[in-house]
Amino acid sequence: MTLAVRRAGLSPGAVFGYALARAAGIMMQDDDSILLLTPGPLTTSAGVRGAMQQDWASRGGDFAALTARVRKRIAQLAGAGRSHVCVPIQGSGTTALEATIATLVPRTGCVLVLINGSYGHRLHAICRRLARPAMTLEWPENTVPVARQVAAFLDAHGEISHVAVVHCETTTGILNPLDKIAAVVAAAGRRLIVDAMSSFGALELDVSGLPCEAAVSSANKCLEGVPGVAFAVMSRKSLAAASGNAPSLTLDLHDQWRAFEKNGQWRFTPPTQVVAALDQALKEHAREGGIAARRARYAKNCRTLVRGMKALGFEPYLPARIQAPIIVTFRQPANRRFRFERFYDLLAERGIVIYPGKLTKADSFRIGCIGAIDSGDIRRALGVIADVLDDMKVKLAGPAP
């Protein structure tokens, strides 16, 4: 705790208040007191956190205007022209994925889910739970889906109406070839649903150009908002034809859309402060220079991270060519003194939060490059990682075998 306080540069009085708050179990977040190097929720800016200090009447005109602004800006970021609209929904990213599949895939449809990680498996689980017929094509976690194989599968299975794919598979940080997959899906006359959760706002996406039926993401990843609201940028035409598809009242994005179009209001209580924070996060995204600038900052974070970790003797799981600048998976070192739980705890004590691996095969852990952080923060994290290795008396000779 002393370390966290020192880093935050607080006065002795504030330190005392901070200690009291900590003792009372209240999380206080100072600008650099904690670094969330995870797949989300992420480190946010003081501006985004500050935007939550106000109460809003959810049915008031001001909040309707704010919602309209957020919807419009997100649609623009997705490259939506008149053809697509942004439909936000209360909840986590998975809520929006489930709502999108529930709304767009009719009971008579069939979804082909492309899988190369746990988020692909989750899309399949959603289809099964919604009782939507589904098939899967699976690749190893360190391999991208092959468009040619997707095309052949679609050829052989005329019953498939939709294809679902993850843009950046956050399980490993792999970048899937969205353009190539979209091209074969369109050529086969099927519809594409993209889980763009961990890429939206940082990697270019063009829903009308791809084309795709829906791209889904949430506030608390590359847009750098806080958790509690997610959204789908959806084809207007498909939405209009999707009345009555959803087997759930709250997950019905057709009805949700109609409500927004009718009077600008949310059907059910919106997370007002979370939406206000997203509005601020979108302003900061634009001020930074939009998608290109955000991508460049994350790419620099990623390069700094990979270079520094390699210098410490860690080995990235993926080849650089298919690594997205979002989150990096590292193999666990073979050194017997290296125990991940202890590594994680010692880092967390010093204000650096990383993420355990989720891989089915290789033992690994993950470090995120996204959030309101820059390469200076990554260098600080690398310094702490070096200290923790010293504490653990782990000396890595070089990449593990």
Question: SS3 of 54, please?
Answer: coil
Residue with Cβ nearer ligand PLP (39 or 351) = 39
Residue 91 Cβ vs ligand PLP, minimum distance, rounded to whole Å: 8
CB 379 within 8 A of CB 308: yes
Q: Does 116 interact with ligand PLP (rule: CB under 6 A)?
A: no
Q: What angle separates helix 290-312 from helix 272-288, to the nearest 10 degrees?
A: 90
Question: Quick one: tokens of 19?
Answer: 């200690």
Residue 126 Cβ vs ligand PLP, minimum distance, rounded to whole Å: 10
Residue 197 Cβ vs ligand PLP, minimum distance, rounded to whole Å: 3
> What are the start-end ranges of the H helices in 109-235?
118-129, 147-156, 178-187
CB 23 within 8 A of CB 1: no
Pairing of strands 364-368, 327-331: antiparallel
Q: Does 371 interact with ligand PLP (rule: CB under 6 A)?
A: no
Residue 243's identity, in one-letter code, is S
Q: Does 198 interact with ligand PLP (rule: CB under 6 A)?
A: yes
Residue with Cβ nearer ligand PLP (109 or 117) = 117
Per-residue contact flags (x/-) with ligand PLP for residues 133 to 172, judged by CB under 6 A: ---------------------------------x---x--
- Between CA 282 and CA 124, with CA 208 as vertex, the angle to 5 degrees is 85
Q: Does 257 interact with ligand PLP (rule: CB under 6 A)?
A: no
Residue with Cβ nearer ligand PLP (197 or 275) = 197
Site for ligand PLP (CB under 6 A): how many residues? 12
Spatial distance between the Cα atoms of 96 and 90, rounded to a whole number of angstroms: 8
In the bound state, the residue with its beta carbon closest to ligand PLP is 93
Spatial distance between the Cα atoms of 219 and 217, rounded to a whole number of angstroms: 7
Report phi then psi at 178, rounded to 5.
-60, -45
Residue with Cβ nearer ligand PLP (33 or 220) = 220
Spatial distance between the Cα atoms of 344 and 278, rounded to a whole number of angstroms: 30
Per-residue contact flags (x/-) with ligand PLP for residues 201 to 240, judged by CB under 6 A: -----------------x----------------------
CB 309 within 8 A of CB 367: yes
Binding span for ligand PLP by CB under 6 A among 22-30, 46-54, 92-100, 139-147: 92-100
Rounded alpha-carbon distances, angstroms, from residue 8 to 12, 19, 30, 154: 12, 13, 6, 55
Binding span for ligand PLP by CB under 6 A among 79-87, 91-99, 140-148, 254-262: 91-99
Residue with Cβ nearer ligand PLP (100 or 170) = 170
Q: Does 119 interact with ligand PLP (rule: CB under 6 A)?
A: yes
The residue within the footprint of ligand PLP, chosen from 18, 36, 39, 77 (CB under 6 A), is: 39
The residue within the footprint of ligand PLP, chosen from 141, 195, 284, 315 (CB under 6 A), is: 195
Residue 200 Cβ vs ligand PLP, minimum distance, rounded to whole Å: 10
Q: Does 92 interact with ligand PLP (rule: CB under 6 A)?
A: yes
In the sheet that holds 214-218, the strands lie side by side as 84-91, 228-235, 214-218, 191-195, 162-166, 111-115, 134-138
Residue 122's identity, in one-letter code, is R
Residue 59 Cβ vs ligand PLP, minimum distance, rounded to whole Å: 27
Question: Quick one: tokens of 348?
Answer: 């967390």
Residues in contact with ligand PLP by the rule CB under 6 A: 39-40, 92-94, 119, 166, 170, 195, 197-198, 218
